Amino acid sequence: MILDKIVASTKKRISGQQERQPLAQLREKVQNMGTDGNFPFEQALKRDQLSFICEVKKASPSKGLISADFPYVQIAEEYEQAGADVISVLTEPEYFLGSSQYLQEIRRAVKVPLLRKDFIIDPYQIYEAKVLGASAVLLICAILSREQLSSYLKLADSLGLSSLVEAHTEEEVQMALSAGARVIGVNNRNLTTFQVDFTTCLKLRSLVPPEVAYVAESGIRDGDQLAQLKSCGVQGVLIGETLMRSLDKQALLSEWRNL
């Protein structure tokens, strides 16, 4: 199963990183950074209109190479100029061709909050996200135990990082809520099969109380879908492939924001 392979690859990657830079060194860097406690990622989801989390993504296991020409900093700057509320940056290197360097360089170029999009299975990655300049991390219920999720949420909180807790099923939504998630993202993509069903985020919306921000992820391609999401009380949308394949990202995002 592809998800198992990604997790195995991630474990190997973290092991190598810890040899080069031990966790104690990362913690020391984080201590010197401080936190402002404002959680800008969450603030960005409190607009009256839909908030847009726009993704910088080179490839994916389901679609292969999405962007051969990949000026990632320029793409992020275009998103910001067009009014992106948050920018999501893929840092998983083997299956999504992402890089921690992308996040670090984009942080220097833009002011909007950044989401580190990766398969987080170890506290090391959360400390690293803080050092790289992320405002939030993705925590995926499908690859974490309840204990891990609760622990990672608390760790991220203590570092001033928000957590986008990703769910795909009713059970995972309940897991996210019981762990204390303040932002839940329902992924329309099944990470076991990588098939997409846009209605997933609509069906699960009623399970999440109004005080918890609700984000729809994957398979969002047009204004009609955005209107459906808005009408059922979705606060934010995470859009990657559709924007990455657009020849005029700024025009498309501007059009969507004005719906």
User: Residue ranges of the domains in the chain?
Assistant: 2-15+41-257
Q: What's the residue count for the chain? A: 259
Mean pLDDT value across the chain: 96
When comparing pLDDT for 2 and 101, which is higher?
101
57 — alpha (psi -120 to 50), left (phi > 0) or beta? beta
pLDDT in tens, 210-219: 999 999 999 9
pLDDT at 35 over 90: no
Residues 6+ apart with CB under 8 A from 149: 139, 141, 165, 175, 176, 179
**CA 155-159-160 angle, 5° bins:** 115
pLDDT in tens, 192-232: 888 999 999 999 999 999 999 999 999 999 999 999 999 99
**pTM of structure:** 0.96
Distances (CA, A) of 229 to 44, 76, 107, 204: 17, 24, 29, 12
Mean pLDDT value of segment 35-56? 92
* Rounded-to-integer distance, Cα 58 and Cα 95, Å: 10
pLDDT band per the 50, 70, 90 thresholds, residue 34: confident
* Range 64-67, long-range pairs (CB < 8 A, 24+ positions): 65/97, 66/241, 66/244, 66/245, 67/244, 67/245
Catalytic site positions? 55, 57, 117, 166, 187, 217-218
* Rounded-to-integer distance, Cα 84 and Cα 18, Å: 34
Beta pairing, strands 59-60 & 114-117: unpaired
A 10 A CB-CB count for 210 gives 8
A 10 A CB-CB count for 167 gives 27
pLDDT band per the 50, 70, 90 thresholds, residue 8: very high
2-15+41-257: CATH topology = TIM Barrel (3.20.20)
pLDDT at 37 over 90: no
In percent, the amount of the chain with pLDDT more than 70 equals 100
Distances (CA, A) of 232 to 168, 208, 228, 239: 17, 12, 6, 18
Structure tokens at 243: 């924007």
